[in-house]
Amino acid sequence: MNPFKFLIVSLVISIPFISLAKEPSRPNVLFIVLDDVGMTDIGSFGSEIETPNIDIIANEGIKLNHFYTASTCSPTRAMLLTGLDNHIVGLGNMYEELSPNQKGKSGYEGYLTNVSISLPELLKMYGYSTFMTGKWHLGLDENTSPAAQGFDNSYALLNGGGGHFNDLGLFGKPALYRENGKLVSLPKGFYSTKFFTEKLISYLDNENKKEQSSPFFAYLSYSAVHWPLQAPEKSIEKYKGNYSKGYEVLAKQRLRKAIELGVFPKNSQLPELLPKELHWNELDIHQQKVEERKMEIYAAMLDDIDVYLGKLFDYLKSVNQYDNTLIFIMSDNGAEGHDTEYGLAEVKPWIQKCCDNSYKNMGKANSYLLIGPNWARASVGAARLSKGFVHEGGIRAPAIIKLPTLQNKPMFLKNNILSEFVSVKDIMPTLLNIIDIPKPDNHIKSHAVIPMTGRDILSDNNNRPEMGWELMGRKAYRFEQWKIVNAQPPYGKGEWELYNLDKDPLEINDLAEKNSSQLHKMIHRWDAYAKSNGVILPDWVSGY
């Protein structure tokens, strides 16, 4: 029996849940999604950033150190909420990046479609109250908003990102928000992390005050640490001076700590800097000051997430619901490594006109900054590239699961780590097993649905890693230790490359020529994946 199954089955199924005042029939479920947080950004994964509240969850639960997502946000979120490949449920590509030959095609609607039943829809059928706050990115209209996907109450940022103090969007278009399906304006004093957390607490508190309250499913989807880099000055000042030694020193410190914590194996190495990127000692003093400040803001944004999560956990404890709540924390992809030189060049002229990125104004509401590839290299650890790429740095992300406890007895050993391959598609079917809800079959009431393809890692004894990826023409397939990747220059050769991840986790030594037999087996697997999931390769190459 795999270690994850042993721990959960023996301690969850065989032992009743703690008795609560209102005795919900099933445990509560809390999903927390962080945006663009890298593998080593969290304290319990190797970071110097203070995340004590997340670390408590990690120590009480299980860290998933081989958790795989899509290479960008909305495809990952689509898989999380359906247990299906993103190409099947409408997010074959992000709506912002749809190519001409993909538009109007099935699986490329740019929003979460009704070919599946979403997790909130299903849980609602079994008596759950469902709440959502934060980034949605799965549909702009009312009929594709969270309210149309089973959430009783929701306050959602509809776009992929937005200003953290206001509705600043790209190219002069404001970021859009809907509450319970209706377009709304942001309140005064808005700060995304604070607002999304407090709004969710208000939804939960209203439910808790009901005479007959239900178990809840809450989906808290932060827009931090997604660009633009913005945080309150007080939060930023906490990290002033912490990054004066530069991004290369930080990368080494992070990896060393991550190895100590078991996140990466011994003898793990860092990837090289990207071509044309400067070593820290090659930057002038002003460039170093700017880079330091960017990382200080980034750290402040993640620290603030942890602070407000602490307030959420305190609230759950105050109403005697913390112990009976399954908590799952994840990042939606690897760290963001793009900037206005890499992948977002078209944004640069607009930023120069709209915003003030002077040193004194960095992090404020009218600044617009990205963290860039060098700090992202520290975030991803012993992995190649970052968000947007199907190399390991783009698709491997931190994740933590903590199940309900019995009084003060933790269900998992402290610092327990699951090193088995887990896909974001596996979360929904595994959760349903844990809370004793059957998987949906082909029909739910009158709603025809496609059965989930994600595996329940509790009951599936096939622990062989296997998953396919395609986004914006970048392709990959993983089977056991083998992985093929196809990406355009300068990040790839524009043709299939073959890697043995057990021996070469940085994807440096291309074995395509030396092992053509294995290469063709893997290509056959990717072709089958693409056919079964309706993959349409774009007829243009996205700059992102």
CA-CA distance, 315 to 218, in Å (whole number)? Answer: 14
Higher pLDDT, 464 or 106: 106
Q: Which of 7, 463, 402, 30 is nearest to 204 (CA)?
A: 30
Q: Are 91 and 144 in contact (CB under 8 A)?
A: no
Q: Specify which residues 220 forms β-bridges with.
A: 32, 133
Q: What is the pLDDT of residue 443?
A: 62
Structure tokens at 119: 């997790």
Q: Which residues pair with 93 in a beta bridge?
A: none
Q: What is the pTM of this model?
A: 0.94
Tell me whether residue 497 is in a domain.
no
How many separate domains does the chain show? 1
The helix (H) or strand (E) run that includes residue 443 is: strand 443-444
Taking residues 380-385, what's their average pLDDT? 97
The answer to whether residue 412 scores a pLDDT higher than 50 is no
Q: What is the C-alpha to C-alpha distance for residues 372 and 124, in angstroms, rounded to an integer?
A: 41
Residue 172: predicted pLDDT: 85
Give the list of residues 6+ apart from residue 187 with CB closer than 8 angstroms, or none: 195
pLDDT 10s digits, 219-239: 999 999 999 999 999 999 999
Domain range for residue 361? 3-14+29-464
Alpha helix positions (H), 33-72? 52-60
Please report, rounded to a whole number, the percentage of residues in the chain having pLDDT higher than 70: 92
Identity of residue 105: K
* CA end-to-end span of the chain: 42
**What confidence score (pLDDT) does residue 299 get?**
98
pLDDT given at position 18: 31
Residue 102 in any domain: the answer is: yes
Residue 409 identity: K
Task: Give pLDDT tens digits for 297-339.
Answer: 999 999 999 999 999 999 999 999 999 999 999 999 999 999 9
Helix and strand numbers, DSSP H then E, in the chain? 13, 17
Residue 404, pLDDT above cutoff 90: no
pLDDT(406) > 50: no
- Tens digits of residue pLDDT in 145-176: 999 999 999 999 999 999 999 999 988 899 99
The answer to whether residue 485 sits within a structural domain is no
Residue 216 has phi, psi (to 5 degrees) of: -115, 150
**Residue 534 within any structural domain of the chain:** no
Would residue 511 count as lying in a domain? no
The reply to whether 415 falls in a domain is: yes
- Give the CA count within 13 Å in the CB-facing half-sphere of 299: 23
Whether 500 is covered by a domain: the verdict is no
pLDDT digits (tens, 9 = 90+) for 94-146: 999 999 999 999 999 999 999 999 999 999 999 999 999 999 999 999 999 99
Structure confidence at residue 415 (pLDDT): 54
Can you tell me whether residue 174 is helix, strand or coil? coil
The CATH number for 127's domain is 3.40.720.10
- Read off the pLDDT of each residue in 39-47 and give the average, rounded to a whole number: 97
Average pLDDT over the chain, rounded to an integer: 91
Q: Could you give the residue numbers annotated as active site?
A: 73, 137
Which stretches of 30-147 are DSSP H helices?
Answer: 52-60, 73-80, 119-125
486 lies in some domain: no
* Span 246-303, pLDDT tens digits: 999 999 999 999 999 999 999 999 999 998 999 999 999 999 999 999 999 999 999 9
Reported as a single tens digit per residue, the pLDDT across 1-41 is 555 554 454 434 333 333 333 445 789 999 999 999 999 99
